[in-house]
Amino acid sequence: MLPLLAQLGDGFWMPPQASTKAESVDWLFFFLYWSSVAAFTLIMATMVLFLIRYRHRPGHKARRSPSHSTSLELTWSIIPTIIFLMMFWWGFEGFIEMHTTPDDAYPITVHSRMWDWRFEYPNGVTSDTLVVPINRPIHLSLKSDDVIHSLYIPAFRVKQDLVPGRINEMWFQATRVDDFDLYCAEYCGVSHSEMITKVLVRGEADFQRWMEEQLEDLRAAEDRPPHLRGKRIFDQLGCAACHSVDGTRDIGPTLKDVYGYERPMADGRTLMADQQYLRDQILNPRAQTVANFQAGLMAPYQGRLDERELSHLITYIRTLSDRGPSAEQIERAWRIERGEEVEDDDEDEAADTDEPAADEQDPAEDEADAQQHTPPNPS
């Protein structure tokens, strides 16, 4: 009977049961639910029955009620105690199981922040959707860059807080190939409701293929002009959640025509948006806020980007301004630096593009990088 009730959870009253834990969670939930329904019905029915049966009638004299009944008291103590102990035991068992990660679990790091998710795989691949293989335990290390978030996958029946300054953990094993919702379940500011993405459960072969593509993309990204590498970092970090690149006002200032212009700040000062300004605003945005924008929303990127990544990101932002170098100029300088034949162009333009050449890496470093991104042997 009860397992049958748990089946009701699968897609009827609940999201589909898509992890190894889902059925036992639903089972316990429905046990609690239906025992509450049964207790409520029993108590209400008895009350109504007694109201009618023992109502006041003319000429009817009330009998004295018994003051004590050992058997009755034992019954109403022992039966509920057994039921409560059963509930405790199933809950406790499930809790322990949920917090005991299998040794062979596949590790993924989750970065959360207002209002965006990023999933980092052991080989350095990152993604804004959580792509996982079916039938394999997945271990998540949960981190937050700013406030408390909560990772919630209803179809898997798992939820865990992400707390700044802590690494929380959780694990699951998906049992259905499909796309499922992944929410933030802890109110975290104005765009909390947009902090939503997907879990894509795939067969082992599809997962490996996806991973190969990502690795390919990662390697190709290293062999691109700096502003394109910067754009990739911009996309990966989810900067677009708050900053437009076309002049549209969003949660944060647009990045179009910022570089090279004077910026009015909230404290009344005016700052020139040079490279140092961009660097400061990325690494420590809370130190100074642009006028008419809410302070403190952006997480500091100090320690989260290395100098090369930072330089690429700044180069990309400079290309978004009509006072910065154009993408063509950056690319041209990059090609010249690589020793490629470049068609003769305006001398002035070439002169403006000394900077990207400086952060060009040497081939040995490229080699080391490529090795870093080699995937672990799937066991």
Residues of this chain that bind Cu ion (CB under 5 A)? 149, 184, 188, 195
The residue assigned the tokens 């990325």 is 282
* CB of 193 vs Cu ion, minimal distance in Å: 10
* CB-nearer residue toward Cu ion: 194 or 223: 194
Helix axis angle for 363-372 and 204-222, nearest 10°, is 160
* CB nearer to Cu ion: pick between 5 and 148: 148
Of 208, 193, 42, 202, which Cα lies nearest the Cα of 125?
208
**CB nearer to Cu ion: pick between 190 and 220:** 190
- Per DSSP, 124 falls in state S
Q: How far apart are CA 68 and CA 362, in angstroms?
A: 91
Nearer to Cu ion, 145 or 331 (CB): 145
Q: Which is nearer to Cu ion, 170 or 195 (CB)?
A: 195
Supply the minimum distance, in Å, between the C-beta of residue 116 and Cu ion.
9
> In the complex, what is the shortest distance from the CB of residue 185 to Cu ion, in angstroms, rounded to a whole number?
8
By the 8 A CB rule, do 334 and 356 touch?
yes
Please, what is the minimum distance in Å from the beta carbon of residue 29 to Cu ion?
Answer: 25
Pairwise CA distance, residues 47 & 317, whole Å: 72
Residue 162 or 320: which CB sits closer to Cu ion? 162
- Of 136 and 198, nearer to Cu ion (C-beta) is 198
Q: Residue 279 in contact with residue 314, Cβ under 8 Å?
A: yes
Strands (E), the chain: 106-113, 116-120, 126-127, 130-133, 137-144, 149-153, 158-162, 168-173, 179-184, 196-202, 262-264, 270-272
What minimum distance in Å lies between the beta carbon of 143 and Cu ion? 13
CB of 188 to Cu ion, least distance (A): 3
CA gap 109, 266 in Å, rounded: 36
Least CB distance from residue 192 to Cu ion, whole Å?
5
We find the least distance from the C-beta atom of residue 166 to Cu ion, in angstroms, to be 15
| Nearer to Cu ion (CB atom), residue 188 or residue 201 | 188
The Cβ of residue 173 has, within 10 Å, a number of other Cβ atoms equal to 19
Q: In DSSP terms, which residues pair with 140 in a beta bridge? A: 108, 170
CA 253 vs CA 178, 257, 299: distances in Å: 37, 11, 15
